Amino acid sequence: MAGSETEKPLRKIADAFKELASAVNSPRPEVQVAQFSHACSLVSPLFGCLGIAFKFAEMEYVAKVDDLVEASKSISTLQVMLDKDIETNTVKKAGGHTRNLLRVKRGIDMVKVLFEQIIATEGNSLKDAASKAYAQVFAPHHGWVIRKAVAAGMYALPTRAQLLKKLNEDETSAKIQMQSYVTASAPVITYIDKLFVSNKLGIDW
């Protein structure tokens, strides 16, 4: 039975990230891997809504979120997860949890920038918003072939109206939920960046 709430992905995403934000804004910030990976899994369908331009992002993001969901069965917090990988010297190992966390963080960061751009712009085309979000977050880490494929895919993006219809929102409600996610995701992204930087891992790899 589909209630109206289940058809509001934006609201679910915003609410999940509000909970994460309160965890990182608490006096002793800690993020549970289970809570984090669940919140990130709610973002996955968004990439699908954006069509072919973000197909690579969807495939990479979904697989890496799945890995973190699996990891959450045996690892309590993000900090513990990093500690384990540092201990076993597997931080940068392909398929490793820490590397996957960095990739997932980029996914939620890209959605944040995309929502900021959508809120700030008028008109029915998402091309500028999506191009800016991609250029800012993903492009520096991608080779020429992927960048070219993404640029070509930008012409197949849904219109703003089509995206809102897929998300079951109108212009006003969508902006409220998008802003809510932007506000809540910012401290979460900062927290993850700090985890990497404080452990001298850097975030540009």
Please report the DSSP string for 167-194 in residue order: TT--HHHHHHHHHHHHHHHHHHHHHHHH
User: Beta-carbon neighbour count of residue 198 at 10 Å?
Assistant: 10
Kindly report the average pLDDT of the chain as a whole number.
Answer: 93
Q: Give the integer Cα–Cα distance in Å for 85 and 195.
A: 13
Q: Give the integer Cα–Cα distance in Å for 108 and 104.
A: 7
How many CA within 13 A on the CB side of residue 14? Answer: 18
pTM of the model: 0.94
Task: Write the single-letter amino acid at 146.
Answer: I
How many CA within 13 A on the CB side of residue 186? Answer: 9
* Topology classification of domain 9-193: Glycolipid transfer protein, GLTP (1.10.3520)
pLDDT tens per residue across span 111-159: 999 999 999 999 999 999 999 999 999 999 989 998 999 999 999 999 9
pLDDT tens per residue across span 10-42: 999 999 999 999 999 999 999 999 999 999 999
pLDDT at 2: 45
pLDDT at 1: 39
Q: Give the integer Cα–Cα distance in Å for 199 and 167.
A: 38
